[in-house]
Chains A and B, each alone.
Chain A
């Protein structure tokens, strides 16, 4: 695996997979909504179709339309387990390596999934993999978070979004909410719907809910939310475009020389490579300081100052981070993200403990940013990475890089950019 792949993979492991593993219990029993247009897409399928929901999460789409055979897959075990408990055929797998034979599906869903992939190349690969499993004439529906939201726009495309369980839900999850396995009657329509109605509440956690829902469910709370911007991993590896301060030139030369030697002696480079991955991953960690992208390269010392400033939490085990000059833009924006519970607007604290230990166990992973006064047990360490899409970006990605798919519809739905595309036969001469 090359350096970029490793960094991307690590980022997704820390800020997608391990987060969902932690927060799964909170939205298994949840407040989710099946997007009407996705539901309609499923209902419009020919009876006897085979559909795959790639990144099915808790399986919220898998009960729709009993005339078609649905299967789902996801990397998150707790979510897959839950989907199974609802009577669905599900597997564990990863969207970049789908375990399905070519052309076996009549339709594929990818709802709020590929925005979690951290490089453009991986997003393309995921789409190509899904296209591979589609039969000619089959259709795929893709939903991704939009940069342009109803009232405002994310300022950057690569962001970290904190998770907080909804504070007004009384301790959310517990085992009793999980329905007993419904295997034998899974095909029965009324049972399936019954089952789901009991679980279905208002808001979606993996996509963005309506504003009406938002005001209904968070009436008293401040609607300030926080999320954090960063640079895209694609740009981190674009060494030509980075500007750095003097003190970091040593570090940069390490970075660039390694990238140049990618084709060279692997074993030699392994050790350095690993160390670099760690450094790069740490750049890409959610913010320790509030600043603007333009500031970062101008003044590394300011960054160090910022890190040392906040209260007692900050110990000096973060030297690793501090010694590296190339840092990512970090900016804290606050604006209501409909699917997230509000956080108090508190000064951000940084704790470097877990960072220092490297990527040890899953409990250690993820950002250690912990806003004060945050509710719930899984607060600051749960920051999900998103690459939010610009208008037209998803359709362009497909048109320019996935020739086996032909875009049929592109539209905006609630807070998502959506594409429906059809698999076409490619003729190679």
Chain B
């Protein structure tokens, strides 16, 4: 699970109103090499919940010096874009779980795949 994906994921347990962002509890993290496409990254940025991204990166020990607030005119800032690229697309959680911030329910991640299926009683 890449952090770009994580940024979209939310807990959908019945009755939960604050299911986002999910807390990452990783037991295995990989870092891959992915071709850097600055345009792609800069287009992704406005679609992100920036705070959730920083929080997730920090939780994994990969925050480096990503700012807590988005800088303005980042489109031209290649350094910044490279950092974002790395955290969005290269860091990958292979094993662990995603925890609902409100209910505590844990969704397992196994072999890079989060299992977000709910049980009958959570639906």
Which residues of A are in contact with B by a Cβ distance under 8 Å? 1, 46-50, 67, 69, 71, 73, 75, 80-81, 84, 89-94, 97-101, 104-106, 183-188
Contacts and interface: CB of A to CB of B under 8 A. Distances in A.
Contacts of B49: 101
Q: Which interface residue of A73, A100, A188 has the most chain B CB atoms within 10 A?
A: A100
A96 B8 CA distance: 17
B92 A183 contact: yes
B87 interface: no
A70 to B, nearest CB: 10
Interface of B: 1-2, 4-5, 7-12, 20, 30, 32-35, 37, 39-40, 42-44, 47, 49, 89, 92, 107, 111-118, 120, 123
A97 B116 CA distance: 9
A90 B111 CA distance: 11
Nearest to A98: B12
B113 A50 contact: no
Contacts of B43: 46-49
Nearest to B5: A89
17 contacts: A47-B43, A50-B44, A67-B40, A69-B40, A80-B113, A84-B111, A89-B1, A91-B9, A92-B116, A98-B12, A99-B11, A99-B12, A101-B49, A183-B30, A183-B92, A184-B33, A184-B34
A97 B47 CA distance: 22
A187 B34 contact: yes
B13 to A, nearest CB: 9
B34 A1 contact: no
Nearest to B108: A92
A136 B112 CA distance: 30
Contacts, number: 91
A188 B12 contact: no
Nearest to A183: B32
Contact of B8 (A49, A104, A186): A104
A188 B37 CA distance: 10
Contact of B4 (A67, A69, A92): A69
Nearest to A104: B8
A91 B113 CA distance: 5
A155 to B, nearest CB: 35
Given A47-B43, A84-B111, A183-B92, 4 more contacts: A81-B111, A97-B12, A187-B37, A188-B35
Contacts of B92: 183
Contact of B89 (A75, A98, A187): A187
Contacts of A98: 12
Contact of B123 (A1, A50, A89, A105): A1
A66 to B, nearest CB: 8
